[in-house]
Amino acid sequence: MASSPFQNVIPDSRVFRQVSLRDYSTMRVGGPADYMIEPTCEDEIMKTLHAAKAASIPVCVVGNGSNLLFSDAGFRGVILHIGKAYSRVERDGLRICAQSGALLSSVSRLAAEEGLSGMEFASGIPGSTGGAVYMNAGAYGGEIAQVLETATVYTDNHVETWDNEQMRFSYRHSAAMEKECVILSAAFMLKAGDKEEIFARMNDLNSRRREKQPLQYPSCGSFFKRPEGHFAGALIEQAGLKGYSVGDAQVSEKHAGFIINRGNATARDIRALMRHVQSTVLRESGVMLEPEVRFVGSFDA
């Protein structure tokens, strides 16, 4: 087997070849990646990025894959999978500090166990800390912008700490997106609260999520961004598209804002369904829906 361009950067035990990306996406679709690397520290993240750049190898940084659609052809490059191996979460006074691979559910649970309020909205979001900060994830009236104190980012070949203002958060957007930074860790400033009330709020939100969302199927969550003055799910439902499918990709009958994988959907199916939804909603309402999901790899159209 040919030597890896990462052999002097990361131990071979954490460099994988031809990895099926369907196992790293909550939509459960995607072909193979040439390489996948699972770092355990900041230094390994930076060294991997340096090595990939030196070898002119494309890089895609992936957390829990909850907002990504991988191509059926996979990814010709390296997937830098920041996950369980880089996921420490700890309390520091009123702060919860988390490495970027930590799941939001783990961050919100530790906060609740420590009697800290502010992360309840995030308890059911399936993403990782890095992805959530990168795209200002939110749910049920809460979003990362409301609680983030600082983020440690890798940008322009060095590490910086950005405060909330420097992140320039807006709806599903941050300055990290603009500069294509890598989120390394984050500190969330919370408030002291009653542990039972915090858990009760989390349980209520998760109950509402189970009641209204098709959690029994693979999906990327809300597929489209919320158009100004509208709700994507309502527009899709009003256009008569609930249950509409292309192959095994379907507009959820439970919540029209979700595109689900009923078992064997391909990325091609999902993209075709997305385009049909966009064109139909545009014709019926004059609103062009913009996907919230990021597309990784090569797509025909």
Whether residue 222 lies in the annotated active site: yes
User: Which structure tokens are listed for 232?
Assistant: 């994507």
Catalytic residue, from 25, 108, 222, 252: name it. 222
Choose the catalytic residue: 22, 28, 95, 172.
172
CA-nearest of 134, 116, 137 to 126 is: 137
User: What six digits make up the tokens of 165?
Assistant: 């203002």
- What is the bridge-based pairing of β-strands 138-139 and 158-163? unpaired
Indicate the burial class of 245 (C-beta count within 10 angstroms; 0-12, 13-18, 19 or more).
middle
**Helix (H) / strand (E) containing 113:** helix 104-113
Asked if 178 is an active-site residue, the reply is no
Helix axes 104-113, 195-212, angle to 10 degrees: 150
Measured distance CA(127)–CA(168) in Å, rounded: 20
Active site residue 172: yes
Which residue from 163, 116, 125 is spatially nearest to 143, judged by alpha carbons? 125
Taking the C-alpha atoms of 189, 60, 10 and 73 in order, what is their torsion angle to the nearest 10 degrees? 140
Catalytic residues: 172, 222, 292
